Amino acid sequence: MPQKKKISEHIKDKPDIGLSFDDVLIIPQYSDISSRKTVNVKTKFSRRININIPIVSANMDTVTEAAMAIAMARYGGIGVIHRFNSIDEQAEEVRKVKRAENVIIDDPITISKKTKLSDAVAFIKEKRISGLLVVDKNKKLEGIVTWRDVRFTQHRNVTVEKVMTPFKKLITASPDIKVEKAIAIFDTYKIEKLPLIDKDRILHGLITAADFLKINKYKNAAKDKNGRLVVAAAVGIKDGMERAQKLVETGVDALVVDIAHGHHKAVIDLVKKLKKVYTNVDIVAGNVATYQGAYDLIKAGADAIKVGIGPGAVCSTRVIAGTGVPQLTAILNSSKPAHQHNIPLIADGGIRHAGDVSKAIAAGASTIMSGSLFAGTKESPGEYFVEEDAAYKVYRGLASRDASFDRGLKEHNTDRAERAPEGVSARIVYKGDLNKVLFPLIDGFQSGMSYVGAKNIGEFWGKATFIRTSKAGHKEGLPRSLNS
């Protein structure tokens, strides 16, 4: 992990001034980086979860469900599934992510050899698969029947047994086969399906050639040790333990205790409880904006800290409650205990441009979380709607009147809405595919690193220094018309 973050003199001398992204620039330094493409942006989402780009999609109901989390992980980041649904609905979103690129199908669809061929054909068509494994009642593998075996067969009154490829002609492997070995088997035998069986021929899983093609398509994907995409999910205080249990059973990689004011006894207590019960899942906690907030959550056992009180595009906490810390200062201050204890920081909210990603990470964060940048993409929840000849999607704060109204209806069957909502709701222009937003962010961030000569994020933390900028200095840096 990190070298200690160096903070430029200008900022160290004035710790009480709250600075945000537009108040600073990263000072350029000597660099020997030949191309920004060579800069390594691998990072940690949390203590044990490695990801390949420092980008996280926010746990908001207009940002991250399975489609967003799948796309994020395929491109190398991670999504946090929101918690504003039932426990079963949230677990289902996690399950979809974990199955999206699963090279091993744990529970393949099977059939008995006594099934009539016409029923098997109907089953193959209904499930839209290319073939079925044939097993006995103890799940002992007896053969495979594929679409190719049956597509021209006129006599569909016979049983599957008559047309299947019997066990003795099958290529199989053991359930703990490594990915490289499986690829070699597909290559040697030119087969489409590789059943995984134990020494008693009992079926434990299936690998298909088609799934390997998916892996090759997304070379930068962030995966767990079993080759499945990584995913996190949010939990709250009220049903945190119950939600956590179902999410962990479903295979979630990290739980995010996400509370607007994370420097709170209830959050500390929940983090401690979760850490005690779930030793194989990382526990992320937030949101905080101070040294002490980050320190107390780290002491409670948190495996990553989420930083940001009020910087977000649809946040009104600072206006309504009058609290918060400008985001750059919040990251700088929280990064001190985080770097001392090797705990990653997630800079949550307020990112508008790629340059803000560079500044957030230069300040000590390991990743940035965004809602507004990813809302309105094809992968965000909900359909787009057309108004005044343009397409839009909805993006709303979790504490907005709209969101709390919907939650009131769902949870209590009342139309109760917050009287002082700390968030707003907006329509956002439809952006199309996520990669149109995501790839420029990464390119810009790599460019930022190359300007200080940093080959990886650890070096960036060690080398980057900031200069405060005047209003005129900030204005000077904005693209402007050449005709005025």
CB-nearer residue toward ligand XMP: 351 or 464: 351
Q: Any contact of residue 369 with ligand XMP (CB under 6 A)?
A: yes
Q: Say if CB 192 and CB 130 are below 8 A apart.
A: yes
* CB neighbours of residue 440 within 10 Å: 12
Answer for which of 313, 347, 360, 452 binds ligand XMP (CB under 6 A) is 313
CB-nearer residue toward ligand XMP: 51 or 196: 51
What x/- string results for residues 394 through 423 when contact with ligand XMP is judged by CB under 6 A?
---xxxx---------------------xx
Q: If we measure between CA atoms, which residue out of 59, 62, 98 comes closest to residue 82?
A: 59
CB of 311 to ligand XMP, least distance (A): 6
303: which 2 tokens? 């495996």
Q: Any contact of residue 348 with ligand XMP (CB under 6 A)?
A: yes
- 339: Cβ contacts below 8 Å, ≥ 6 apart: 1, 2, 4, 5, 364, 461
| Active site annotation includes 192 | no
60: which 2 tokens? 């908001």
Q: Any contact of residue 58 with ligand XMP (CB under 6 A)?
A: yes
CB of 308 to ligand XMP, least distance (A): 5
CB of 417 to ligand XMP, least distance (A): 12
Burial degree of 188 (CB within 10 A; 0-12, 13-18, 19+): exposed
> C-alpha 334: how far from its chain's center?
22
Answer for which of 102, 287, 335, 367 binds ligand XMP (CB under 6 A) is 287
Dihedral (CA of 248, 254, 259, 261) sign:
positive
CB-nearer residue toward ligand XMP: 105 or 260: 260
Interface region with ligand XMP, contact rule CB under 6 A, candidates 172-180, 291-299, 369-377, 476-484 = 369-377
CB-nearer residue toward ligand XMP: 103 or 424: 424
CB of 68 to ligand XMP, least distance (A): 13
Enumerate the β-bridge partners of residue 468: 24
466: which 2 tokens? 């900031």
Q: Any contact of residue 206 with ligand XMP (CB under 6 A)?
A: no
| 302-333 exposure pattern, b = at least 16 Cβ within 10 A, e = fewer | bbbbbbbbbbbbbbbbeeeeeebbbbbbbbbb
User: In the structure, how many helices (H) and strands (E) does the chain have?
Assistant: 17, 22
Catalytic residues: 315
List residues near ligand XMP by CB under 6 A. Answer: 58, 60, 287, 308, 310, 312-315, 317, 348-351, 369-372, 397-400, 422-423
